């Protein structure tokens, strides 16, 4: 379990992280999203001590880096694997040697190392590339090697720093599927730093959105997407801008798809006897839910009734305005 309380960090008088509070449970897939420069990678590096922080506390299974010496920190890091955007493999070593490197550094026996490396290459489906050099591999394959290396010391946590940002969408999907498989089979907590919302939607249980070094929204992925906090809108940018028509009020309804409300629009029209024009609707699949978003334009005088009806149904909604 990773527990972070009131963590602060500044560098040369510039605040990088401020009032960070979050808890990541064992076996959870946790997303840290934000635009570049938001401090997400720094926060990730604080977890395994690659970066230090000024005040507050950060404990990984009750281990607080600030209270240990360099040698103890090295041992502690065996519990935390890490992968990077540009794979960080040794270009002059083979796939096998790259995966074996951490075990070699920790003085494992040749037979133990050999067994573990072959086992891991099977997990990441690269058995036939065992003697290839990284330059002969595709980006996705390189990241698989890096994942195998990160898992070689049997960590409890895997940190991913923009691990899919240099990959094409299809390869990204396969790496995410692999991370999910690793999370399930080995019960390893995965902390994912990314600026791609699609990554969060696909595999994360929980997410925190970072803006200017602060956590501006946090919670289960479906909750954050349903609530549509301003920071999420900032992150998604123009792509999510809604078309607002004149002649009435434009409202946006967000809901989790379920038997109860998959007919919400026709139910509302029938029960309230209202008309509306539809300007947009979409359903998106998340790890554990399907979320819907609908944009409607309704008559000014019926907005109160509609609002009450939606609230009673437990659906969140908001009036969009032209500003």
Partner 1 sequence: MTDISSLIYQIVIPEFSRTLFMVFSATAISAAIGFLLAILLTVSHKDGLRPNRYLYHALDTTINIVRSFPFIILIVAIIPLTRAIVGTSIGEKAAIVPLTIAGAPFIARLVEGSLREVDKELIQAAKSFGASNFQIIFRIMIPEAVPSIISGITLAIVAILGCTAMAGAVGAGGLGAVAITYGYANFDNTVMYGTVFFLIILVQVIQSAGNYLYKVLK
Question: What is the DSSP-derived secondary structure letter of residue 241?
Answer: P
Tokens of 197: 């919302």
CB count within 10 Å of CB 273 equals: 9
131 neighbors 94 (Cβ within 8 angstroms)? yes
211, β-bridge pairs: 214
188 counts as binding partner 1 under rule CB under 8 A = no
16 counts as binding partner 1 under rule CB under 8 A = no
* 283 to 302: interface string for partner 1, x by CB under 8 A: --------------------
Among 8, 15, 57, 88, binds partner 1 (CB under 8 A): 88
202 counts as binding partner 1 under rule CB under 8 A = no
Is the Cβ of residue 157 or residue 215 nearer to partner 1 in the bound state?
157
Radius of gyration (C-alpha) of the chain in whole angstroms? 23
CB of 103 to partner 1, least distance (A): 9
Q: Near partner 1 by CB under 8 A, which window of 81-89, 116-124, 266-274, 303-311?
A: 81-89
178 counts as binding partner 1 under rule CB under 8 A = no
Q: Near partner 1 by CB under 8 A, which window of 15-23, 103-111, 137-145, 177-185?
A: 103-111
The contacts found for 166-172 with CB under 8 angstroms, 24 or more apart, are: 166/85, 166/86, 166/87, 166/139, 167/139, 167/140, 167/143, 168/139, 169/198, 171/138, 171/139, 171/140, 171/143, 172/196, 172/198, 172/199
Give the Cα separation of 41 and 127 in Å (integer). 31
Tokens 């990773």, residue located: 2
Among 16, 32, 60, 82, binds partner 1 (CB under 8 A): 82
Report 208-227 residues binding partner 1 (CB under 8 A): none
- What does the chain come to in residues? 323
Spatial neighbors of 139 by CB under 8 A, at least 6 apart, are 87, 166, 167, 168, 171
Residue of 201, 73, 206, 97 whose CA lies nearest to 148? 97
77 counts as binding partner 1 under rule CB under 8 A = yes
Tokens of 18: 């401020």
Give the Cα separation of 99 and 148 in Å (integer). 6
110 counts as binding partner 1 under rule CB under 8 A = no
Please say whether the dihedral angle defined by the alpha carbons of residues 14, 54, 194 and 24, taken in this order, is positive or negative: negative
11 counts as binding partner 1 under rule CB under 8 A = no
Among 5, 66, 104, 184, binds partner 1 (CB under 8 A): 104
Q: Near partner 1 by CB under 8 A, which window of 102-110, 124-132, 252-260, 281-289?
A: 102-110
Among 37, 61, 64, 106, binds partner 1 (CB under 8 A): 106
Q: Near partner 1 by CB under 8 A, which window of 22-30, 84-92, 231-239, 269-277?
A: 84-92
Among 18, 27, 35, 50, binds partner 1 (CB under 8 A): 50
Q: Near partner 1 by CB under 8 A, which window of 118-126, 142-150, 203-211, 304-312?
A: 142-150
12 counts as binding partner 1 under rule CB under 8 A = no
Give the Cα separation of 149 and 138 in Å (integer). 17
Among 35, 68, 93, 287, binds partner 1 (CB under 8 A): 93
Give the Cα separation of 44 and 92 in Å (integer). 28
158, β-bridge pairs: 81, 190
Binding site for partner 1 (CB under 8 A): 45, 48, 50, 74-78, 80-82, 84-86, 88-93, 101-102, 104-106, 146, 149-150, 152-153, 159
């Amino acid at each position: 379990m990773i527990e972070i309380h009131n963590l602060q960090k500044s560098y040369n008088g510039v605040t990088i992280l401020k009032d960070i509070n979050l808890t990541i449970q064992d076996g959870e897939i946790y997303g840290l999203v934000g635009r570049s420069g938001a401090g997400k990678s720094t926060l990730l590096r604080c977890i395994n001590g690659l970066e230090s922080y000024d005040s507050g506390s950060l404990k990984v299974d009750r281990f607080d880096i600030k209270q240990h010496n360099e040698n103890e920190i090295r041992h502690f890091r065996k519990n935390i694997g890490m992968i990077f955007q540009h794979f960080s493999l040794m270009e002059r070593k083979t796939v096998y040697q790259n995966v074996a490197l951490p075990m070699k550094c920790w003085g494992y026996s040749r037979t133990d190392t050999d067994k573990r490396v072959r086992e891991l290459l099977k997990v990441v489906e690269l058995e036939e590339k065992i003697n290839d050099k990284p330059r002969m591999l595709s980006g996705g394959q390189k990241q698989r090697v890096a994942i195998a290396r990160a898992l070689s010391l049997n960590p409890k946590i895997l940190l991913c720093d923009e691990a899919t940002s240099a990959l094409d969408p299809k390869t990204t999907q396969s790496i995410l599927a692999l991370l999910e498989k690793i999370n399930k089979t080995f019960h390893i907590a995965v902390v994912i730093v990314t600026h791609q919302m699609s990554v969060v939607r696909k595999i994360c249980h929980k997410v925190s959105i970072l803006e200017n070094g602060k956590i501006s929204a946090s919670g289960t992925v479906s909750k954050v997407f349903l609530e549509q906090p301003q920071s999420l809108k900032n992150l998604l940018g123009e792509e999510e801008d809604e078309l607002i028509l004149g002649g009435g009020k434009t409202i946006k309804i967000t809901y989790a798809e379920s038997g109860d409300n998959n007919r919400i629009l026709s139910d509302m029209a029938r029960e309230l006897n209202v008309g509306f024009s539809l300007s947009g609707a979409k359903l998106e699949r998340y790890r554990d839910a399907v979320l819907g978003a609908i944009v409607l334009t309704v008559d000014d005088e019926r907005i109160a009734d509609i609002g009450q009806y939606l609230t009673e149904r437990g659906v969140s909604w908001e009036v969009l305005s032209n500003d």
